[in-house]
Structure 1
Amino acid sequence: MYSPVAPWWHTAVLLAPILFFSLMGGQRAARQNAGEHHGLQYLLTMVWEWVLAALVLWGIRLRGVPLRKLLGERRASAAEWKTDLLLAAAFWITASMVLAVLGLLLQFAHVASPQKTLALLAPRNGTEVTLWILLSISAGTCEELVFRGYLLQQFASLKDRLWVGVVVSSLLFGMAHGYEGVAGILAITAYGAMFCALAIGRKSLRAGMMAHAWHDIVSGVALMLLHHAHVM
């Protein structure tokens, strides 16, 4: 049986700025030129990720819910860490193939490719790569906590149905990335559902955090290399 992990008014407080800044980011991305203030943008986004994580911690504390309930089962042994690393790698490969196919389908449907928007945000030099890696680790940690930890369980409690939590949290995950355009929102919603499946199957967020951070790191570095090779 699923029960709310925080007061519902707190969920509204958490979601309002996420959706507002996503909308503003989407409008800004449509007008933005490549290469604008990437370092500052990464730093501000990093701060924002940890602010959201802090809001989640505040919310569960209001109901006396332990952080472990969001993080999932505690597995401290080296063997369990190895298993999570292998699962994260397998998930990343599988999800990358699914997203590639979805990207092709979106192109056939004449929806702009998410990579075109992401290319504007990719790092361009060593300093930006370092910040990008830190940002990717922050995003993997904080977004999994917010969406697959807090929101998945919170919305599963609505009708005591896990699928409700999966659908709503995945939709919100996609909508939170409005700066990546329509194609990005659709792809990331599907991506969020895959992360939900990983979290549920593993009964822990750790493998998802690893895969999320790794995916973001590799995507940013790959786009940078393609840019310097004058491919994009």
Structure 2
Amino acid sequence: MSDVATEGSLRPIARPRHTVYLLLAVFAFAAVGAVRAGQVAQAPPHSRVPQYLVLLLAEWGLFYYAAMGPRRAGVPLSEIFDVRGWSFRPAGSSDPSEAPAKVRVGPARLLGTLLLAGAFWIAAGLILAGVKRATDLLGGATAAEAQRTSRLLIPHGGIEAVLWVPLSISAGICEEFVFRGYLQRQLAALTKSPVAGLLLSALVFGVAHGYQGVSSVVVITVFGVLFGILAHLSRSLVPGIIAHAWQDLASGLFRM
């Protein structure tokens, strides 16, 4: 993103106190998930529908709270999602509080974004396959964790499969906004380092998925680093949102 491209341009997008509360909410979510994962390991649920509904509320609840910080600081959410041109301020305007004007997105821009998201998804998949293999060789309990994750999250049956679609899309939108749009940018500003912001937000992203197991935290943290690099280089959250949503969608529906 342009505001985190150089150290001199770094600026917070919310009050530090807001960031602390958001981090506490993320860690609380991870703790509750870990407890729930332990319960599922003992007795698999008959239906994941209630769990999916709770996850939907949690995703959008985190999104809403994260969005409150930049809005109160006068930072448009459109600037966080994509600073390259999906929306912009009227020509000649230098007032950051002025509402952005709408821009029509052409087919070339849309196609380019889809191709970038697809290429990233393939490349990230290859890298993560290597990371998973490495954790397995080092003694990580990847097989057991995968089985527990399957019991906890993977849909079984038509109703769960239908609900998995909006859940995956919501995860793509909400998690990319919270971790790459908000935390990566905010932590970069607070530490005065884009690299630190990227790595710290990726670590928080991994810990937030701690209910999937220690080895999965390592893999998902690497995933977070890759998504952070994509957001930083593309100066947009849109490719990451598409790739993230597709990754979650495929990992659920293709493993039924």
TM-score, length basis structure 2: 0.84
What is residue 104 of structure 1 aligned with on the other side? 133
Is structure 2 residue 85 aligned with structure 1 residue 74?
yes
1:31 aligned to which of 8, 20, 39: 39
1:116 maps to a residue whose letter is Q
Q: Secondary structure at the match of 1:82?
A: helix
What is residue 215 of structure 1 aligned with on the other side? 247
Distance in 2 (CA, whole Å) between partners of 1:49 and 1:218 is 19
Distance in 2 (CA, whole Å) between partners of 1:163 and 1:42 is 34
Deviates more, 1:38-47 or 1:75-84: 75-84
Residues 67-89 of structure 1: CA distance to partner in whole angstroms, max 9, x if unpaired? 12211222422111111111111
Q: Is the 8 A contact 2:180 2:231 kept in 1?
A: yes
2:147 aligned to which of 86, 102, 116: 116
Q: Which runs of 5+ in 2 are unaligned?
A: 1-8, 87-104
CA RMSD of aligned residues (A): 1.3
1:115 maps to a residue whose letter is A
Deviates more, 1:77-86 or 1:205-214: 77-86
* Number of positions where the alignment pairs a residue of Structure 1 with one of Structure 2: 224
What is residue 163 of structure 1 aligned with on the other side? 195
Q: CA deviation at 1:179?
A: 1.1
Distance in 1 (CA, whole Å) between partners of 2:215 and 2:39 is 17
What is residue 66 of structure 2 aligned with on the other side? 56
Distance in 2 (CA, whole Å) between partners of 1:116 and 1:182 is 14
What is residue 221 of structure 2 aligned with on the other side? 189
Q: Secondary structure at the match of 1:223?
A: coil
2:113 aligned to which of 84, 87, 112: 84
What is residue 229 of structure 1 aligned with on the other side? none
Q: CA deviation at 1:165?
A: 0.7
- Kindly indicate which of the two structures has a greater share of residues assigned to helix: 1
Deviates more, 1:198-207 or 1:56-65: 56-65
Q: CA deviation at 1:183?
A: 1.1
The 1:35/1:223 distance shift into structure 2, 3 A limit, reads farther
Distance in 2 (CA, whole Å) between partners of 1:131 and 1:74 is 32
Q: CA deviation at 1:36?
A: 4.1
Distance in 1 (CA, whole Å) between partners of 2:128 and 2:252 is 15
Distance in 2 (CA, whole Å) between partners of 1:135 and 1:112 is 27
Distance in 2 (CA, whole Å) between partners of 1:187 and 1:34 is 24
2:21 aligned to which of 4, 8, 13: 13
Distance in 1 (CA, whole Å) between partners of 2:147 and 2:12 is 38
Q: CA deviation at 1:217?
A: 0.3
Structure showing greater Rg: 2
Distance in 1 (CA, whole Å) between partners of 2:161 and 2:217 is 24
2:150 maps to a residue whose letter is A
Distance in 1 (CA, whole Å) between partners of 2:18 and 2:67 is 11
1:44 maps to a residue whose letter is V
Residues 84-115 of structure 1: CA distance to partner in whole angstroms, max 9, x if unpaired? 11111111111111111111111111111152
What is residue 174 of structure 2 aligned with on the other side? 142
1:55 maps to a residue whose letter is Y
Q: Which runs of 5+ in 1 are unaligned?
A: 225-232
Is structure 2 residue 231 aligned with structure 1 residue 199?
yes
Pairing 1:122-137 to 2, within 5 Å after superposition: 122-137=154-169
Q: Which aligned segments of 4 or more residues in structure 1 are displaced greater than 4 angstroms?
A: none
Q: CA deviation at 1:116?
A: 2.6
Identity %: 39
Q: Secondary structure at the match of 1:204?
A: coil
